[in-house]
Amino acid sequence: MPESLPEASPRRGRRTRRTTALIAGAAVLGVVAGTCVGYLVQADREPTALPPLSQPSVAQAKGAGPEPLSAAQDRQVRAGGDLRKLLLKKPRGARAVFYPDGGGWTSLADYAETYDKPASGFADLVAGEFRRAAATDWREGGHYSVEIRLVQYRQEETLGAADAADGGYYWAEKEADTDGRPIPGTGDGMAYVHNKPDTKPGYLDMYSAEAHAWRGDIAMEIWVYDTKPVPKAKIMDLAKRQMERL
What count of other Cβ atoms lies within 10 Å of the Cβ of residue 110? 13
Report how far residue 234's alpha carbon sits from residue 223's, in angstroms, rounded to the nearest whole number.
Answer: 11
| pLDDT reported for residue 101 | 85
| pLDDT reported for residue 218 | 97
- Between strands 178-182 and 144-153, the pairing is unpaired
The answer to whether 138 and 94 are in contact (CB under 8 A) is yes
Q: How far is CA 52 from CA 48, 55, 71, 180, 182, in A?
A: 12, 7, 48, 66, 60
The domain segmentation of the chain, as residue ranges, is 75-243
CATH code given to domain 75-243: 3.40.1000
DSSP label at residue 131: E
Report how far residue 190's alpha carbon sits from residue 121's, in angstroms, rounded to the nearest whole number.
Answer: 22
Which amino acid type is present at position 212?
Answer: H
Q: 89, exposed or middle or buried, with CB in 10 Å at 0-12, 13-18, 19+?
A: middle
Report how far residue 235's alpha carbon sits from residue 232's, in angstroms, rounded to the nearest whole number.
Answer: 6
| pLDDT reported for residue 81 | 80
Report how far residue 129's alpha carbon sits from residue 127's, in angstroms, rounded to the nearest whole number.
Answer: 5
Look at phi and psi of residue 167 and say left if phi exceeds 0, alpha if psi is from -120 to 50, else beta. alpha
Cross-sheet strand order for the sheet of 218-226:
104-106, 130-140, 144-153, 218-226, 206-215, 190-198, 178-182
pTM for the model = 0.69
Phi, psi (deg, nearest 5) at residue 97: -105, -65
- Report the residue count for the chain: 246
Full pLDDT tens readout for the chain, 246 residues: 444 333 333 333 333 333 333 334 444 434 444 544 454 445 555 655 556 656 666 666 666 656 655 555 555 665 668 999 999 999 999 999 999 888 999 999 999 999 999 999 999 999 999 999 999 999 998 899 999 999 999 999 999 999 999 999 999 999 999 999 999 999 999 999 999 999 999 999 999 999 999 999 999 999 999 999 999 999 999 999 999 999
Cα of 99 vs its chain's centroid, Å: 27
| pLDDT reported for residue 57 | 64
Look at phi and psi of residue 77 and say left if phi exceeds 0, alpha if psi is from -120 to 50, else beta. alpha
